[in-house]
Chains A and B, each alone.
Chain A
Amino acid sequence: QSVLTQPPSVSAAPGQKVTISCSGTSSNIGNHYVSWYQQFPGTAPKLLIYENNKRPSGIPDRFSGSKSGTSATLGITGLQTGDEADYYCGAWDTSLSPGVFGGGTKLTVL
């Protein structure tokens, strides 16, 4: 059971918008930055969002991140079939060194 709670799966139609939630505590999300990762089967994860809402170079602005209190949200607009992947949130944790990840959310683009 992961420390950060994510829904196991989400789905939406191409072109639509989806959000993925990540719930934590004051030990992690409440007092640390949140990052998000995208992982396709058989490959290493890739950084999608860092420091709550920043996008690395090359990540389209269809991807966005936000944080409020002990929860964070990843938003994806203009869904494409190529966005089908697993998405993970992560943060440092003051109590559980060094950090924690969410259990992952499988995105299906119908």
Chain B
Amino acid sequence: EVKLVESGGGLVEPGGSLRLSCAASGFIFTDAWMSWVRQAPGKGLEWVGRIKMKTDGGTADHAAPVKGRFSISRDDSKNMVYLQMNSLKIEDTSVYYCTTVTWAGTVDYWGQGILVTVSS
């Protein structure tokens, strides 16, 4: 059974930093592209970014609203994916989902989501 478990969320002040972690199990992690998708309260889904598997270059791509502030990384030895969030803004307040994503763009598995609240 595929499991994706996010941790590290919470309340942070504008301008602050937070690192989300995602523990993956139930599949061959080194063969998976991973991604983060977020959802602001009462709003729709929004891509944060994706990271390819090492054999596909291991590169990360980030959406325009977070580029330069957020960074996705992975540790294949621990089956973990991370989202480092810096210079947080109020509009970054969302539930953040850790997901697997295929080369075709299919988000096939989702974590339960974790809330990040940016507020003073």
Which A residues contact B (CB, under 8 angstroms)?
2, 32-33, 35, 37, 44-47, 50-51, 56, 88, 90-92, 96-104
Verify A88–B113 contact, CB threshold 8 A.
Answer: no
Q: How far is the CA of A102 from the CA of B46 in the complex (A)?
A: 9
Please tell me which one of the listed residues B63, B106, B108, B110 contacts residue A96 in the complex, with CB atoms under 8 A apart: B63
Q: Rank and list the top 6 A-B pairs by shortest CB-CB distance, nearest first.
A: A92-B105, A50-B106, A44-B110, A101-B45, A104-B44, A97-B61
Q: How far is the CA of A92 from the CA of B111 in the complex (A)?
A: 20
Please tell me which one of the listed residues A47, A90, A98 contacts residue B45 in the complex, with CB atoms under 8 A apart: A90
- Known pairs A33-B104, A35-B105, A47-B106; A98 contacts B44 (CB<8 A): no
Please tell me which one of the listed residues B37, B50, B106, B110 contacts residue A46 in the complex, with CB atoms under 8 A apart: B110
Verify A103–B113 contact, CB threshold 8 A.
Answer: no
27 contacts between A and B (CB under 8 A): A2-B44, A32-B104, A32-B105, A33-B104, A35-B104, A44-B97, A44-B110, A44-B112, A45-B110, A47-B109, A50-B108, A51-B106, A90-B105, A90-B107, A92-B104, A96-B64, A97-B64, A98-B35, A98-B47, A98-B50, A98-B61, A99-B47, A99-B105, A100-B47, A101-B37, A101-B45, A101-B47
